[in-house]
């Protein structure tokens, strides 16, 4: 219950009820004041008229005619008559249906219980008050005419009662739905909490149930589930990366250790010592370059480089790569053909785009046999900008084409080729940073890496 009272929907309903109540109270106060005043004026008007008629009829004071007239009026049916009191100049009561009364001029309010003498009261009630007008007549006798103001009180009471009823109804109508909404809200929050706790406890596959109402809570649950999905896949790749690092770095480290042990046990002369040390340095350089490749990938993935994006002349970049690698490809007994569209540019990081393209070309060089052809192209197809590095080598079997982008993933036949297994991971990271779609396709024979540059980020001058 205490929790329910703290729910947002209940609080909202309560606040709403409060505001409605204040509006009601204002309305009530106004109605109360206006009604009271009108009734009061009406009562006094009646009393005044009665007093005037008696006083003018009396003419010369408390005459026996006046006494008789008042006595007659007193005998009218209960509830329809006014209250009267007439005393002579010495203050002795002459007639009327009120007990002794101190002669006092003007308007006065008297508790009825103090003054009621005769029993023709409408309803003898202690609370009844008499609104009365008193005044001395010409012979110094005293006449008081009054009326029970119960009608006023009745009206006031009626207003009060209807207000109490209405405000009770308003409160109930505004708070109850709030409580019901709060209750169902709480149930759904509870289900989110239960799922979260299960995930915290390690049941990572757990997901938050969706009620299917398509409301904000469903949207929230859906977004949370998507976040959990991406976290799970991130954790998965993190786990895979750490075990790969451990595995892949063991080999060069053990080789390094072996060189050092070798040189310690068997080094014959300064020459051998020198070459063993050179080998050890080369091995540690390999290790270091693996580390810096890993760091570079994670940095690219953090997307912080986006802030430094500038216009990159893509055609020039392709030309530069073609020119830089042409001799390398030729020396390896392979051929390079390039067809590069002029005038293409892209918003991006030139350094990273250079490395991305270089990695793809180097892959083509490393994984093809002598005599292979490598083709580098950049072209516009119906306003699309597409880059392509194709080779006539053995290609990559279909099921592995996605996996080669994972860190350290290497095809079995490439295990002996030098390389860290990180080149394509960097390509994927750089492509992702720039919104470039990179796919590996069958070149029949060979592999074709296709880079589809985003439309909105390039301009052809």
Partner 1 sequence: MHVLLIEDDRRTADFIVRGLKEHGHVADHAVTGADGLYLATTRTYDALVVDRMVPEIDGLTVVKTLRASANRVPVLFLTTMASIDDRVEGLEGGGDDYLVKPFAFAELLARLGALARRPPMSDIKTTLEAADLKIDLLKREVSRAGRRIELQPQEFKLLEYMLRNKGRVVTRTMLLENVWDFHFDPQTSVVETHVSRLRAKIDRGFDRELIETVRGAGYRIRNEKTA
> Is residue 45 a contact point for partner 1 (CB under 8 A)?
no
Check: CB of residue 440 under 8 Å from CB of residue 404. Answer: yes
Cβ proximity to partner 1, 228 vs 321, nearer residue: 321
How many residues are listed for the chain in this entry? 461
Cα–Cα distances (Å) from 50 to 39, 58, 81, 132, in that order, read 17, 12, 10, 11
Q: Which residue is listed with tokens 């075990």?
A: 243
335 touches partner 1 (CB under 8 A) = no
Q: Which of 100, 218, 262, 362 binds partner 1 (CB under 8 A)?
A: 362
399 binds partner 1 (CB under 8 A): no
Told to check if 327 binds partner 1 by CB under 8 A, we report: yes
Give the burial class of 450: count Cβ atoms within 10 A of its Cβ; 0-12 exposed, 13-18 middle, 19 or more buried: middle
The whole-angstrom separation of Cα 39 and Cα 45 is 10
Among 49, 253, 328, 384, binds partner 1 (CB under 8 A): 328
Query: Exposed, middle or buried: residue 47 (CB in 10 Å: 0-12, 13-18, 19+)?
Result: buried
Q: Is 272 in the site for partner 1 (CB under 8 A)?
A: no
The residue from 63, 120, 279, 299 that contacts partner 1 (CB under 8 A) is 299
User: Which residue in 29, 55, 49, 47 sits closest to 109, CA to CA?
Assistant: 47
- Give the interface segment with partner 1, choosing from 24-32, 185-193, 238-246, 353-361 (CB under 8 A): 353-361
Neighbours of 457 (CB within 10 A): 17
- Of 165-173, 189-197, 218-226, 347-355, the segment contacting partner 1 by CB under 8 A is 347-355
| Beta carbons within 8 Å of 306's beta carbon, 6+ residues apart | 433
- Cβ 255 to partner 1 shortest distance, Å: 18
Binding segment (CB under 8 A) for partner 1, from list 55-63, 135-143, 211-219, 320-328: 320-328
Residue 296 in the binding site for partner 1 (CB under 8 A): yes
User: If binding is defined by CB under 8 A, does position 333 make contact with partner 1?
Assistant: no
Q: Pick from 124, 168, 214, 308: which binds partner 1 (CB under 8 A)?
A: 308
Closest CA to 320 of 368, 296, 355: 355
Q: Which of 97, 131, 355, 392 binds partner 1 (CB under 8 A)?
A: 355
Determine the size of the site formed for partner 1 (CB under 8 A): 29
Q: Are 57 and 80 in contact (CB under 8 A)?
A: no
What is the C-alpha to C-alpha distance for residues 373 and 392, in angstroms, rounded to an integer? 6
Site residues (vs partner 1, CB under 8 A): 278, 288-289, 291-292, 295-296, 299, 304-305, 308, 320, 323-325, 327-328, 331, 350-351, 354-355, 358, 362, 365-366, 418-419, 423
């Amino acid at each position: 219950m205490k929790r329910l009272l703290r729910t947002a929907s209940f609080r909202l309903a309560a606040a709403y009820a409060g505001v409605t109540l204040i509006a009601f109270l204002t309305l009530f106060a106004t109605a109360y004041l206006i009604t009271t005043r009108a009734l009061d004026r009406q009562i006094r008007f009646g009393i005044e008229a009665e007093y005037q008629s008696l006083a003018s009829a009396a003419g010369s004071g408390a005459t026996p005619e006046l006494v008789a007239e008042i006595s007659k009026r007193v005998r009218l049916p209960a509830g329809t008559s006014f209250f009267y009191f007439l005393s002579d100049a010495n203050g002795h009561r002459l007639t009327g249906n009120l007990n002794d009364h101190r002669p006092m001029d003007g308007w006065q309010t008297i508790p009825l219980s103090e003054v009621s003498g005769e029993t023709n009261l409408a309803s003898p009630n202690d609370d009844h008050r008499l609104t009365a007008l008193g005044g001395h007549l010409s012979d110094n006798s005293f006449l008081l005419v009054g009326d029970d103001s119960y009608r006023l009180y009745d009206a006031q009471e009626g207003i009060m009662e209807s207000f109490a009823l209405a405000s009770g109804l308003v409160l109930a109508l505004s708070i109850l739905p709030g409580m019901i909404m709060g209750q169902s809200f709480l149930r759904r929050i509870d289900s989110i909490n239960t799922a979260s706790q299960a995930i915290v406890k390690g049941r990572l596959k757990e997901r938050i149930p969706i009620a299917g109402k398509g409301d904000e809570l469903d949207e929230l649950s859906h977004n949370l589930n998507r976040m959990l999905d991406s976290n799970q896949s991130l954790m998965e790749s993190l786990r895979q990366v750490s075990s790969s690092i451990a595995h892949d770095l063991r080999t060069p480290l053990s080789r390094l250790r072996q060189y050092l042990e070798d040189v310690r046990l068997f080094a014959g002369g300064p020459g051998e010592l020198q070459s063993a040390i050179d080998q050890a340095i080369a091995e540690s350089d390999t290790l270091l370059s693996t580390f810096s490749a890993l760091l570079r990938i994670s940095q690219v993935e953090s997307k912080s480089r986006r802030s430094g994006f500038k216009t990159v002349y893509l055609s020039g970049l392709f030309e530069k790569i073609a020119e830089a690698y042409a001799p390398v490809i030729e020396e390896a007994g392979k051929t390079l053909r390039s067809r590069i569209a002029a005038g293409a540019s892209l918003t991006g990081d030139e350094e990273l785009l250079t490395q991305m393209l270089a990695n793809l070309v180097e892959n083509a060089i490393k994984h093809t046999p002598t005599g292979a052809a490598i083709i580098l192209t950049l072209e516009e197809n119906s306003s699309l900008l597409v880059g392509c590095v194709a080779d006539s080598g053995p290609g990559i079997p279909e099921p592995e084409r996605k996996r080669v982008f994972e860190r350290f993933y290497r095809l079995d036949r490439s295990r002996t080729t030098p390389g860290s297994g990180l080149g394509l991971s960097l390509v994927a990271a750089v492509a992702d940073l720039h919104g470039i779609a990179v796919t590996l396709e069958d070149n029949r024979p060979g592999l074709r890496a296709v880079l589809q540059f985003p439309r909105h980020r390039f301009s052809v001058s």
